[in-house]
Amino acid sequence: MDDIHDRWMPDGSLAVIASLIVERPHLGQKRGVMINEQPMPLRAQGEQAEALIKLQGKVVLIKGELRRRYYSRDGQQRWGQVEIWVSQVIPSNLGEKNE
């Protein structure tokens, strides 16, 4: 997870906007300049937002669903973006040393 921003929603609840970096699959012929990672927008509210802030910088398992949101600004055309809406944040011991 990268680029975490917390903000307060109009109802007073905490929300987190972040980027989840996922490995991009290689499709077709390999090119000289290949981007191996793809950032995916991630949204969390309430307890899940608090957990992401608390566990920032640690390995976590994210459970949620993909949702498409549509945006428009100043009367311009609408555009869509796929986001991961977090339903559960689970701490992981991946990458940590067992002592």
Positive or negative: CA dihedral 42, 48, 50, 51 = negative
Q: Which residue has the higher pLDDT, 89 or 33?
A: 89
Q: CA 16 to CA 88: how far, in whole Å? A: 13
Q: Which residue has the higher pLDDT, 3 or 59?
A: 59
Positive or negative: CA dihedral 93, 25, 64, 19 = positive
Q: What is the mean pLDDT of residues 30-47?
A: 79
- By the 8 A CB rule, do 43 and 15 touch? yes
Query: Confidence class of residue 56 from pLDDT cuts 50, 70 and 90?
Result: confident
Lowest average pLDDT, out of 5-14, 27-36, 84-93, goes to 27-36
Q: CA 86 to CA 16: how far, in whole Å? A: 10
Name the CATH topology of 2-24+35-91.
Answer: OB fold (Dihydrolipoamide Acetyltransferase, E2P) (2.40.50)
Q: CA 21 to CA 50: how far, in whole Å? A: 20
Lowest average pLDDT, out of 8-17, 26-35, 45-54, goes to 26-35
pTM (2 d.p.):
0.65
Q: What is the pLDDT of residue 98?
A: 45
Beta-carbon contacts of 12 under 8 Å, excluding residues fewer than 6 positions away, are: none
